[in-house]
Amino acid sequence: MTKTRSKIHVKQGDTVKIITGSYRGHIGEVIKVIPKTGKIIVEKANIKTKHVRPKKEGETGQIIQIEAPIHSSNVMLYSKNYKTASRYNYITNDKNIKQRILKKTREIINNNNHE
């Protein structure tokens, strides 16, 4: 049984809106994408409490809060300018470069750090 990687519609650095779950309506930036499981980590969303044991002698344990991953199907790309969530489409510009564009607002999604 082989696991296949699912195609994820968001990239690191994208602004997304959570559409389902206890954090529904939360808007944040994608910190990390995990393609093997199809999950993403959104900034300040799905906060979980983790108890950390002391590593060295004399050190005290601590309780930290971390962002847990959520499935990528539970988020939509979000436009900060128009304040709306939308699906996306691909277009090619005049320099023959493939770009992502929001369907509702026709706004080009900037992902300069990945192309």
Query: pLDDT by residue (tens digit) across 37-46?
Result: 999 999 999 9
**Using CA atoms in the order 76, 78, 82, 88, what is the torsion angle rounded to 10 degrees?**
-60
Q: Is the residue at 77 inside a domain?
A: yes
Examine the pLDDT at 89 and tell me if it is beyond 70: yes
CATH at 31? 2.30.30.30
**Structural domain of 70:** 15-85
Q: What is the number of structural domains in the chain?
A: 1
Q: Is the residue at 110 inside a domain?
A: no
Query: pLDDT by residue (tens digit) across 50-75?
Result: 999 999 999 999 999 999 999 999 99
- pLDDT over 70 percentage in the chain: 93
Q: Is the residue at 50 inside a domain?
A: yes
Examine the pLDDT at 113 and tell me if it is beyond 70: no
Q: Is the residue at 40 inside a domain?
A: yes
Q: Is the residue at 57 inside a domain?
A: yes
CA distance 102 to 17: 13
